[in-house]
Chains A and B, each alone.
Chain A
Amino acid sequence: MSLITVTSPHTTGQRNHTGAFMRQVIYATIPGVAVLTWLFGWGTLFNLIIAVPAALIAEAAVLKARGRDVRFALSDWSAVLTAVLLAIAIPPTSPWWLIVIGIVAAIVVAKQLYGGLGMNPFNPAMVGYVVLLISFPLEMTRWIAPHEAPSWFDSFRMVLASANVDAITGATPLDSLRTWAGNAEQLASQPILHGSFAGAGWEWVNLAFLLGGIYLLARKIISWHIPVGMLAGMALIALPFWLADDVRYASPLFHLFSGAAMFGAFFIATDPVSAATSRYGRLIYGALIGVLVWVIRSNGGYPDAVAFAVLLMNMAAPTIDYYTQPRSYGHRKAKRGASR
């Protein structure tokens, strides 16, 4: 009889400690980071170089204030992973203070104030991202046009001295879609919307994160339920609207390979702490994130919707778990809560 339950984060074996899992997720972001650097310049790497030490310092400071074992908690790599995810999510032209504020919001507020790793109801990286997005909309929506990557020195100046980069910024595929939805001529004449198979440039970013995600699946770091649920939910709701009116609504393929879709599906939504835990629960959780992403992308005013969708579903995760508790061996039906 197997004593291993499906709920996270139980592991067996000597080498499967939390730090090893976190490191695997970090390795899996490498293809995505590489493509981001190829398309948008060195900014993402500078983001990473600032974010990781900032996260470690913030984590150590709070742990010390809380009287916890600093070395033990830092060695689980969770702060580094949060920093990596946030550094990937924010635009490569971001000034250094933006990253630091985001890291403080993620590590201090969203993670440690709720009790540290395993206690946070919300995904820390996405809390940091949303805090930045609603506080500094200008900086957070400033993306460089793909393949117009500035030199490493220009990137450096943007990060450290907030140098002006207006000359090379460009709308992302999702931005142009929002601006020109319903206008067939404009949609046809926007080069950013017509890449090889989806939005130009961003299709490769998403493909790279899909690759990293498949690595995570192969190493059994994540289960397939959340990513498949999310991508299927997104495609299934996009399909009928696209068939009905392809001038106003983008195709499912475009949605799947735009913005943070793949990154969100494999790296953000799968956070074992803040997601649903049962198999059915994970499918429902993922599917609803996908639906929300499409709804907010199609009707909202922000550049992408993955962060909002994930945070909204983080709130729903306990309820989903409550209603999808697996049947325990020897019982006919799952017991729900303590009330029965």
Chain B
Amino acid sequence: MTDYKKISMDGLWNNNPATVQILGLCPLLAVSGSVVNAMGLGLATMLVLAGSNFAVSLIRHFVTPAVRLPAFVMIIAALVTVIEMLMQALTFELYEILGIFIPLIVTNCAVLGRADAFASKNAPLPAVLDGLMMGAGFLFVLLLLGAMREALGQGTLFSNMQLLFGPMAENWQITLIADYRGFLLAILPPGAFIGLGLIIAGKNVIDKRLKDAAKRREAAEPKTSRRVRTTGTVT
């Protein structure tokens, strides 16, 4: 019996590729300068993860362990090429902005890692779910980082969303602070490292709070049976 809830929670929170496994940092740090970049690359990575997990799971009985890694990489590379061409066709400007980081999804350790650690040992349905949830966890962190850096760096949120969603997103931009001078550090690479560090720290704080709360609840619960003293006298 596969535990779908556990797979989902692992991908989104407990074993999040970005904050717990610390995988795929290169795209995570390089293209998280704005929400639209983060969302473009996050969605692409999520699709590749789900697709590669599905394909790897289908062929898991026919590939011998000795040649599994080249086979997985071929599958991932093929999928990334498909996604790259799709983005070139549908969202050309975003494709140009993200540039080398779209083909570099092939080298995202999270993709190969899930293919080898999960998809090659599980049935297609859980494998797809795992890919989707891992991808969603990655997308979530990318979006958070992108929003933090865009808000701090430019004083806006959701600028240029039309690159991804077409003309209907022209006026989605929220200007947080008018005449903002810009905080270059947030846009530059150090801002990405500091931002990711703060996100990981935040996640650890939340985990600790949850753990402490659970412990307190356990301690506060009245014991159902009381031990009866059987020897000696109570004074």
Residues of A within 8 A of B (CB): 109, 131, 134-137
Contacts and interface: CB of A to CB of B under 8 A. Distances in A.
Contacts of B184: 134-137
B185 interface: yes
B188 interface: yes
Nearest to A162: B181
Q: Which of A131, A134, A135, A137 has the most CB of B within 10 A?
A: A135
Nearest to B187: A135
B23 to A, nearest CB: 24
A131 B185 CA distance: 7
A8 to B, nearest CB: 28
Chain A, interface SS category: helix
Interface string B175-189: 000000101111010
A136 B185 CA distance: 9
Contacts of A137: 184
Contacts of A134: 184-185, 188, 190
Contacts of B190: 134
Contacts of B181: 136
Contacts of A109: 194
Contacts of B186: 135
B144 to A, nearest CB: 19
Given A109-B194, A131-B185, A135-B186, 11 more contacts: A134-B184, A134-B185, A134-B188, A134-B190, A135-B183, A135-B184, A135-B185, A136-B181, A136-B183, A136-B184, A137-B184
A137 B190 CA distance: 16
B188 to A, nearest CB: 6
3 A-B pairs closest in CB distance: A135-B185, A135-B184, A135-B183
A188 to B, nearest CB: 36
A85 B113 CA distance: 48
B131 to A, nearest CB: 35
9 contacts: A109-B194, A131-B185, A134-B185, A135-B183, A135-B184, A135-B185, A135-B186, A136-B184, A137-B184
B132 to A, nearest CB: 35
Nearest to A137: B184
A163 to B, nearest CB: 15
Interface in B149-201: 181, 183-186, 188, 190, 194
A180 to B, nearest CB: 27
Contacts of A136: 181, 183-184
B195 to A, nearest CB: 12
A137 B187 CA distance: 14
A109 B190 CA distance: 13
A46 B185 CA distance: 25
A109 B185 CA distance: 14
B153 to A, nearest CB: 9
